[in-house]
Structure 1
Amino acid sequence: MIHRPLLFLAIAIVSLGFTTGAAFAHHGWSWASDEQIELTGTIIEARLGNPHGELTLDVDGTHWTVEVGQPWRNDRAGLEQGDLAEGVEVRVLGAPSADPNEKLLKVVRLWIGDNEYTLYPDRV
């Protein structure tokens, strides 16, 4: 018979494996298609920070979740505090989710007005 502390530890380890696996699968490019598309929309929500920033864009009435870079990558591209804020219109180029029903895009390059910001130069 397994002692309760060992059973609890085993369940915790297995549970942790499931949650970290899901998080790992989401990050990177494995979930994205090989094609690139362009969207233009207005930021209705911005969550910037680690592990990467996310914007919610209103694109002609459809809400897209748009992944931008980590804070250091956004800084390196030239983005400044307040550039990615609610109400700002942006044009983005990136890889959409391989699941066509999921409105999710990983940004490679974006434009705010006439200013261009390249987040992933090796993907352009």
Structure 2
Amino acid sequence: MKRSLTALLTGFWMIAAAVPAAAHHGWSWTTGDNVELTGVIVATRLGNPHGILEVDVEGETWTVEVGQPWRNDRAGLTEGDLAEGVEIRAIGEPSADISERRLKVERLYLGDREYELYPGRD
């Protein structure tokens, strides 16, 4: 009986922990439309589950989500490309809640070079 209760509670907590993660990841929180932002990276947190850039866009800070490390590598981004002080142009889907100032990047540009993170997404 104790073993069954432990298994049941463990299963419950695993499902409960996964629900917020599922809601955050994917595209469900976005508008479904593309916008373009140009700004300067002021902070980076690259790694799993995906990279996060804080980008100054005309005096407003936007949270810009780039790909997972493998996706960034596949797109051709190398270490140091997404560093503080670098100007980027990002195209992607913004949060449906515009007050979040959050963008999930599909494609970004460093200078004239294009990096496609989600080919065929748009």
Pairing 1:1-124 to 2, within 5 Å after superposition: 14=12, 16-124=14-122
Per-residue deviation, 1:102? 1.3
Paired with 2:36 and 2:6, the residues of 1 have a C-alpha distance of 48
Read off the aligned partner of 2:44 and give its amino acid letter. Answer: A
Q: Which shifted more, 46-55 or 19-28?
A: 19-28
What SS is found at the alignment partner of 1:58? Answer: strand
Read off the aligned partner of 1:35 and give its amino acid letter. Answer: D
- The superposition leaves residues 41-77 of structure 1 with CA deviations (integer Å, 9 ceiling, x where unpaired) of 1101111111111100010111110100011110111
What SS is found at the alignment partner of 1:32? Answer: coil
Runs ≥4 residues deviating over 3 A: 6-19
Identity %: 58
- The superposition leaves residues 8-55 of structure 1 with CA deviations (integer Å, 9 ceiling, x where unpaired) of 987776555443211111001111111100000110111111111110
Which 5+ residue runs of structure 2 have no aligned equivalent? none
Q: How many residues align?
A: 122
Q: Which shifted more, 40-49 or 18-27?
A: 18-27
Match of 1:3 in 2: none
Read off the aligned partner of 1:70 and give its amino acid letter. Answer: Q
Paired with 1:18 and 1:33, the residues of 2 have a C-alpha distance of 26
RMSD: 1.9
Q: TM-score, normalised by structure 1?
A: 0.86
